[in-house]
Amino acid sequence: MLSKKTLKDVNLSNKKVIVRVDYNVPIKEGRITDNKRIVASLPTLKYLIENNCKIILLSHLSRIKTTDDIKSGKKSLRLVAEELAKLLPETSVKFVPTSVGQEVVNAANNLQPKQIILLENTRYNDVDENNNVVKKESKCDPELGKFWASLAEVFVNDAFGTVHRKHASNAGIANAIGTSCVGFLVEKELENLSKVSSNPVKPFVAILGGAKVSDKLKIVNRLLEIADYVLIGGGMAYTFLKAQGYDVGSSLVEQEMIEEAKSILAKGKDKIVLTCDFVCASGYKDEPSKYFNLGENLNGMMALDIGEKTIEAFKSKLMNAKTVVWNGPMGVFEFKNFTYGTKTICEILKQITAQGAFTVIGGGDSAAAAVSLGFKDTDFGFVSTGGGASLALIEGSPLPGVDAIQNK
């Protein structure tokens, strides 16, 4: 991954450049509620502006399943263009209300140096005018990739959140254009996550949470090969505990993963540390009704957060760690009664980071949880912008959006 061309490996002076960015930002009631992903693209854009480039931007926003998703305008990138213009007040930023056709060609041809155009949501190409799901973007239609490649001389992929997917707007363009490289954001992601996936400084501890074992099967098996300990909390822990014969009440369990969980436990042996106490309730919005220890009858209740004993068990492994990667919250942190476990993990990671450990939050819900609980990116060693992509990199799965980029 680190052998791929970066911005500084390419002659960009006065070139027309098409950039895949990740502007899949949350929008509520016509307002962007978190612009972090837009801000994250600025170092690359400013570098291109300094190099007198003409800049074409591509991004998706949410999923497009019907023509109603398009006609409603709720998944348009127009608001993103307006936000980007505010962040780059000295730069001309224009929005193009489509991503294909002559209007796009004209807009690209009329670009002047240091100007930016943002094309409409790439996933509008996943549904045709007859409401058929065609997925030209999501299934990497070669003609769509060639069209976008024809607009520019250089392709820059700076959307780490989608590099684990083979889309027309990443692999498609890279395969059809003469020169390609990764942007500063993707370069930073590859460098930092490689410190976890390749020869991490030991002791290396991984923390896994979130809902499902099936979503993290590959990463669990990979971490058991390279980590000293794998701490498992969140919803996925209850499938493992059920596999051991413990009562987990109505907690989330993937019955079809029970045998797989047994196999993982046998493979992991002393490396795996599981939740050993819980905060339970009858439902997400209910007040926590009772605290339970492992082995007690939960009386049909649902475990929604980890307890003090689990925190102490996890902390005993984390305090001596030199490298830590965390992916997945410890409980249903969206509800205030079940934030304790996730918040305490954040506090521990902040503490050991200050003591010199390299701590990585693997994007997705973990990063969202840390922000919502009042923590800053600077509290940790590195906070990834891509949940699925960071997992794919660490587990050694292909990253089509990076693989298609030219080598140095």
> Collapsing DSSP states into helix, strand and coil, what is residue 125?
helix
In the set 212, 262, 315, 322, the catalytic residue is: 212
Task: Sort strands 116-119 and 31-32 into parallel, antiparallel or unpaired.
Answer: unpaired
Q: What pLDDT does residue 361 have?
A: 95
Residue 150 has pLDDT above 70, yes or no: yes
> Collapsing DSSP states into helix, strand and coil, what is residue 93?
strand
pLDDT classification of 72: cutoffs 50, 70, 90: very high
Higher pLDDT, 311 or 282: 311
In the residue annotation, 101 being an active-site residue is answered as no
Residue 288 has pLDDT above 80, yes or no: no
pLDDT classification of 285: cutoffs 50, 70, 90: confident
Q: What pLDDT does residue 311 have?
A: 98
Q: Tell me the CA end-to-end span of the chain in Å, nearest whole number.
A: 11
Q: What pLDDT does residue 152 have?
A: 98
Q: What pLDDT does residue 1 have?
A: 59
Q: What is the chain's mean pLDDT, rounded?
A: 95
Q: Sheet containing 93-96: give its strands across.
A: 93-96, 116-119, 54-58, 16-20, 154-157, 179-182
Stretch 286-297: mean pLDDT, rounded? 87
In the set 161, 341, 388, 401, the catalytic residue is: 388
Stretch 2-13: mean pLDDT, rounded? 95
Q: What pLDDT does residue 76 have?
A: 98
- Per-residue pLDDT tens over the stretch 364-378: 788 889 989 999 999
What are the phi and psi torsion angles at 61 (to 5°)? -145, 105
In the set 235, 364, 387, 401, the catalytic residue is: 364
Q: What is the rounded CA–CA span in Å between residue 23 and residue 61?
A: 7
In the residue annotation, 63 being an active-site residue is answered as no
Residue 293 has pLDDT above 70, yes or no: yes
CB 252 within 8 A of CB 338: no
In the residue annotation, 183 being an active-site residue is answered as no
Give percent of the chain with pLDDT exceeding 90.
89
In the set 37, 166, 216, 317, the catalytic residue is: 37
Q: Which residues contact 342 (CB under 8 A, 6 or more apart)?
A: 209, 305, 329, 330, 331, 333, 369, 373
Q: What pLDDT does residue 215 have?
A: 85
Q: What is the rounded CA–CA span in Å between residue 199 and residue 227?
A: 10
Stretch 49-70: mean pLDDT, rounded? 97
In the residue annotation, 212 being an active-site residue is answered as yes
- Per-residue pLDDT tens over the stretch 165-215: 999 999 999 999 999 999 999 999 999 999 999 989 999 999 999 888 888
Q: What pLDDT does residue 229 have?
A: 98
pTM for the structure as a whole:
0.92
Residue 226 has pLDDT above 90, yes or no: yes
How far are the Cα atoms of 3, 169, 174, 194 from residue 403, in angstroms, in the given order? 10, 14, 9, 15
Residue 122 has pLDDT above 90, yes or no: yes
Closest alpha carbon to 148 in 58, 279, 255, 26: 58
